[in-house]
Amino acid sequence: MRKFRLPVSGILIGLLNGLFGAGGGIIAVTAFQKMGMSDKSSHATAVAVMLFLSAVSGFLYWYHGQVSLQDILPYLPGGIAGALFGGWLLPKIPDFWLKKIFSLFILYAAVRLFFK
């Protein structure tokens, strides 16, 4: 059963990322923590995985005409700046607060989805 955990987790994370964007990251962080990674390592690894999954998903949405480069370009500078700041900030946040912040984001996403 253990040898199937990684491929199944990868498929689930990729599927959720393709459908919901960051939704795959929530599953990725949880899966990495269940596999024994520290909180910071699981968040950092999930972000690294999301980079590639988001690039593939974004390309496919563009390829199928569901998004244009004009739609994407205004968000790139802020996204890059936020990614650099987040990468700098993550090692400085204590694990206790990282868990609390992550939980708040999950709760916010759930409430937002519930009221849509």
Query: Per this entry, what is the length of the chain?
Result: 116
Question: What pTM did the predictor assign?
Answer: 0.68
CB 13: neighbour CB atoms within 10 A? 24
Helix (H, G, I), strand (E, B) or coil at 22: coil
The structure tokens listed for 100 are: 């609390």
Residues in contact with 43: Cβ distance below 8 Å, sequence separation at least 6, in sequence order: 29, 90, 98, 102
pLDDT tens-digit map of 69-116? 898 889 889 988 998 898 899 889 998 998 899 889 888 888 987 888
Query: In whole angstroms, what is the distance from residue 27 CA to residue 41 CA?
Result: 14
